[in-house]
């Protein structure tokens, strides 16, 4: 059966880096020029020069870019997507609208994450050793209950102690022993297998056993649980050995000729095994020749539906957005995410959460300590957070260096550490801000009729632009020497 080819395939940079056979996946292959510009290695760029299919370059419309951007912010993947990734998603969205329609596409994610403050934080430990967490009860009942339990425990007889003893006495009824049940099961077997009556035990042994049992019962009644005493368990070794000896099962004896044949067979066995190993040497190994067949057999393959538009990418953030928006995801080696997840930002300083994924600083404490966290909403509405076990998530790299001294002036370059910290003005020079009007009556034409450019002021040397600002520490160690770019000859 011939495989169903996808009509229109939008390829990301991962498809070209993995050398995916796109001519076997789709009929019309689309991509962006920005995607090709991202590829820097020479083998991949050499393979792009000789493709066995036609590669179409197409740019998405601005309204589709805006739609995909807003949707990725709601899913929480906006911070993980580059400008080229958003354009690739917008192109797939545009082709889906042109060839399929917009009825099945979603404007918002299905599962909305609404963070509600709870009385107890989910990371608060429960029943910590050494700490007392009293239950919320009335003061009268909490004072009267201990005295009531103590009086009952002292006044009731010893037979009903298990019902009225409190947890402070650490008392329980003895557990039933399994020795009697096992002995009762072994008694009928002993009666069937035994042919000869066992010799009766002497009277002295009976007397000693009766004395030990009587003393054990007396001591069991006298000793309390505080002495940590119990009756000794009976040993089953002697009874089992006696049963096996009475059964009289003869041991099989081998003839000399038969034993010789067995010895010869044993000597020939390792040679046969070695020969079989040599014959089956290439049976279970995965080689470059059978790797495709192994992948086909290991996966759960079914007849795919007719897909007209699909996006081939290896980026999990892009796959998450595609699945939640309703687009088809194609993969090179079957590396597709199993389920779609929503993300929130969690502050690891004050443990507050927010669903505004475009925030840089925590809205509660104001620090730059927000980390992306995957969450799922259960059926009962409770939110389950999925923490990462990777220690590099909270990597303190670059924080051991001391902060540089604050710089003054309108062009001070200070690290922006908190949200309410004031930015420097970073204003442009007066010459750069003025607009030259050649039709003004006071215009004095100089050496050039065009507007003059500011290239000598400090703002021009710092390459400042209007509304330019940033956040966080720019470099780990401000005292480290900078490496200047040297053009290779």
Could you tell me if residue 195 is inside a domain? no
- The predicted pLDDT at position 223 comes to 46
CA atoms of 108 and 325, how far apart (whole Å): 8
DSSP strand pairing (309-312 vs 328-330): parallel
Position 68 confidence tier, pLDDT thresholds 50, 70, 90: very high
Is the pLDDT confidence value at 260 over 70?
A: no
- Res 329: pLDDT: 87
Residues of the domain holding 352: 342-390
Query: Does 347 carry a binding-site annotation?
Result: yes
Tokens read off for 201: 């035990």
User: Is position 362 annotated in a ligand binding site?
Assistant: yes
469 is annotated as contributing to ligand binding = no
Q: In this structure, are 312 and 349 located in the same domain?
A: no
Position 402 scores a pLDDT of 87
Does 365 count as an annotated binding residue? Answer: yes
- Using the structure block, give the residue that is written with the tokens 């003839």: 255
pLDDT at 6 over 60: yes
- When pLDDT is cut at 50, 70 and 90, the band that residue 10 belongs to is very high
Both 315 and 377 in one domain: the answer is no
Q: Is residue 83 part of a domain?
A: yes
Query: Using CA atoms, how far apart are residues 99 and 103, in angstroms rounded to an integer?
Result: 12
Q: How confident is the model at residue 338 (pLDDT cuts 50, 70, 90)?
A: low
Flag whether 216 is in a domain. Answer: no
pLDDT higher at 171 or 333: 333
- 215 burial (CB, 10 Å; 0-12 / 13-18 / 19+) is exposed
Contact in structure between 154 and 165 (CB atoms under 8 Å): no
Are 326 and 365 contained in the same domain?
A: no
Indicate the residue among 350, 366, 390 that finishes a domain. 390
Evaluate whether 90 touches 68 at the Cβ level (below 8 Å).
Answer: yes
pLDDT tens for each residue of 182-235:
677 766 655 665 555 555 545 555 555 555 555 544 444 444 444 445 555 566
H helix intervals, 179-250: 179-193, 203-222, 237-247
CA separation for the pair 111, 120 (Å, rounded): 24
pLDDT higher than 50, residue 176: yes
Does residue 15 belong to any structural domain of this protein? yes
Residues 371, 315 share a domain: no
Res. 265: pLDDT tops 60 = no
- Asked if pLDDT for residue 74 goes beyond 90, the answer is no
Q: What is the mean pLDDT of residues 409-424?
A: 80
Closest CA to 320 of 374, 280, 251: 374
**In a shared domain, residues 59 and 79:** yes
Bridge partner residues of 28 (DSSP): 8
Number of domains in the chain: 2
Record the tokens describing residue 65, joined without a space: 């870019």
pLDDT 10s digits, 88-139: 999 999 999 999 888 888 888 875 555 444 445 555 555 555 555 555 554 4
Would you say residue 371 lies in a domain?
yes
- What pLDDT is recorded for position 358? 82
User: What kind and span of H or E run contains 6?
Assistant: strand 6-11
Residue 203, domain member (yes or no): no
Q: Indicate whether 353 and 324 sit together in one domain.
A: no
Where residue 10 sits, what CATH number does that domain have?
Answer: 3.40.50.1010
Q: Would you say 336 and 311 are in contact if contact means Cβ atoms under 8 Å apart?
A: no
**Per-residue confidence at 159, pLDDT binned at 50, 70, 90?**
very low
Q: Mean pLDDT: which of 183-197, 381-395, 458-472 is highest?
A: 381-395
Asked whether the whole model's pTM tops 0.85, one would answer no
């Amino acid at each position: 059966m011939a495989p169903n080819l996808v009509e229109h395939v939008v390829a990301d940079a991962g498809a070209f880096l993995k050398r995916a056979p796109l001519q076997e996946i789709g009929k019309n292959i689309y991509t962006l020029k920005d995607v090709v510009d991202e590829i820097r290695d020479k083998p991949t760029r050499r393979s792009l020069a000789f493709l066995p299919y036609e590669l179409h370059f197409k740019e998405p419309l601005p309204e589709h870019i805006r739609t995909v951007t807003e949707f990725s912010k709601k899913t929480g993947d906006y911070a993980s997507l580059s400008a080229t990734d958003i354009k690739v998603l917008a192109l797939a969205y545009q082709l889906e609208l042109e060839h399929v329609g917009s009825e099945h596409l979603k404007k918002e994610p299905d599962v909305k994450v609404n963070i509600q403050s709870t009385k107890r934080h989910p990371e608060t430990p429960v029943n910590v050793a050494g700490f007392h967490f009293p239950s919320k009860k009335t003061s009268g009942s909490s004072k009267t209950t201990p005295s009531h339990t103590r009086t009952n425990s002292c006044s009731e007889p010893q037979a009903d102690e298990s019902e009225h003893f409190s947890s402070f006495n650490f008392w329980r009824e003895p557990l039933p022993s399994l020795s009697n049940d096992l002995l009762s099961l072994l008694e009928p077997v002993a009666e069937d297998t035994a042919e000869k009556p066992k010799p009766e035990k002497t009277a002295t042994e009976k007397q000693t056993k009766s004395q030990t049992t009587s003393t054990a019962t007396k001591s069991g009644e006298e000793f309390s649980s505080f002495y940590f005493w119990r009756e000794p368990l009976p040993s089953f070794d002697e009874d089992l050995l006696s049963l096996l000896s009475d059964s009289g099962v003869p041991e099989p004896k081998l003839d000399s000729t038969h034993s010789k044949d067995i010895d010869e067979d044993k000597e020939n066995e390792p040679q046969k095994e070695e020969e079989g190993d040599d014959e089956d040497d290439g049976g279970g190994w995965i080689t470059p020749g059978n790797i495709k067949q192994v992948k086909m057999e290991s996966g759960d393959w079914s007849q795919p539906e007719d897909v007209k538009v699909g996006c081939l990418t290896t980026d999990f953030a892009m796959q998450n957005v595609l699945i939640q928006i309703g687009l088809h995801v194609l993969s090179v080696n079957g590396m597709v995410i199993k389920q779609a997840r929503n993300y929130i930002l969690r502050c690891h300083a004050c443990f507050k959460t927010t669903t505004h994924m475009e925030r840089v600083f925590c809205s509660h404490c104001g620090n730059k300590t927000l980390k992306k966290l995957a969450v799922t909403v259960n059926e009962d509405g409770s939110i389950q957070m999925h923490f990462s076990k990777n220690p590099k998530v909270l990597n303190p790299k670059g924080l051991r260096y001391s902060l540089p001294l604050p710089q003054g002036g309108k062009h001070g370059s200070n690290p922006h550490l908190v949200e309410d910290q004031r930015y420097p003005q970073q204003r442009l020079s007066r010459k750069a801000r003025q607009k030259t009007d050649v039709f003004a009556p006071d215009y004095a034409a100089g050496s050039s009729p065009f507007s003059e450019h500011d290239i000598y002021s400090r703002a021009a040397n710092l390459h400042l632009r209007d509304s330019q600002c940033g956040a966080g520490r720019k470099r780990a160690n401000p005292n480290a020497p900078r490496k200047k770019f040297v053009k290779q000859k």
